[in-house]
């Protein structure tokens, strides 16, 4: 496995893969890209462009960027240290090879202070990794539960409609 550099990420984006929509050169890092917040939902409420997260509260964000993962690239997600330093904790899975759509990410404000989160803030870093071989089946063929999602999506697309307001 090999982590993609900023030069490789830029090349992929220029060809229409990795980040298909809402790419921002300012979010590029030497070995990744900072995904930005599109909307925030606090404790399952309708998503907003700006929200205050009370202490000890679960919340979800959806990304502005629409991903278009090639069949031979997956990704890791890491909470940005600026949020970790405020007391936000989160656990993320891999972004599978072949996935396309926005991401819905959940986190928890473990601090004793309210945290303000607004649209367009950089929230997590995505680090792209090249697979050593192509998978036998990509995300869409394996499960594809969230394939093509747009906006805040809390349940698999094949079982429930997306939760989203017109933001």
Convert the pLDDT of each residue in 152-165 to its tens digit.
766 666 644 444 44
- Residue 159's pLDDT is what? 47
Give, in degrees to the nearest 5, the angle at Cα 68 between 64 and 72: 140
The domains of the chain, with CATH numbers, are 2-142 (2.70.40.10)
- Averaged pLDDT, 51-70: 96
120 close to 36: Cβ distance less than 8 angstroms: yes
Residue 106: both structure tokens together: 């959940």
Classify residue 107 by its DSSP letter.
Answer: E
Q: Picking from 11-15, 28-32, 91-95, which range would have the lowest pLDDT averaged per residue?
A: 91-95
In whole angstroms, what is the distance from residue 58 CA to residue 40 CA?
A: 11
39 close to 104: Cβ distance less than 8 angstroms: no
Look at residue 149 and tell me whether its pLDDT is greater than 80.
Answer: no
Residue 69: both structure tokens together: 């993962």
Higher pLDDT, 146 or 139: 139
Give, in degrees to the nearest 5, the angle at Cα 28 between 20 and 39: 60
Phi, then psi, of 96 in degrees rounded to 5: -70, 150
In the chain, what percentage of residues exceed pLDDT 90?
74
* Structure confidence at residue 147 as a pLDDT band (50, 70, 90): confident
Residues 101-143: tens digit of each pLDDT: 999 999 999 999 999 999 999 999 999 999 999 888 878 777 7
Residues in contact with 56: Cβ distance below 8 Å, sequence separation at least 6, in sequence order = 108, 109, 110
For the chain, how many residues are written?
167
- Residue 140's pLDDT is what? 77
């Amino acid at each position: 496995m090999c982590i993609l550099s900023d030069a490789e990420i830029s090349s992929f984006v220029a060809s229409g893969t990795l980040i298909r929509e809402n790419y921002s050169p300012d979010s590029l890092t030497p070995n990744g890209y900072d995904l930005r917040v599109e909307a925030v939902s606090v404790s399952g409420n309708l998503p907003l462009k700006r929200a205050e997260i009370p202490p000890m509260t679960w919340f979800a964000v959806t990304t502005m960027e629409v991903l278009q993962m090639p069949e031979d690239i997956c990704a890791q997600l890491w909470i940005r240290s600026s949020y970790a330093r405020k007391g936000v904790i989160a656990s993320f899975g891999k972004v599978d090879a072949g996935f396309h759509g926005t991401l819905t990410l959940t986190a928890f404000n473990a601090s004793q202070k309210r945290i303000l989160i607004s649209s367009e803030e950089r929230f997590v870093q995505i680090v792209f990794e090249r697979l050593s071989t192509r998978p036998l089946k990509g995300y869409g063929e394996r499960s594809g539960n969230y394939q093509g999602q747009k906006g805040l999506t809390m349940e698999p697309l094949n079982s429930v409609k997306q939760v989203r307001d017109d933001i």
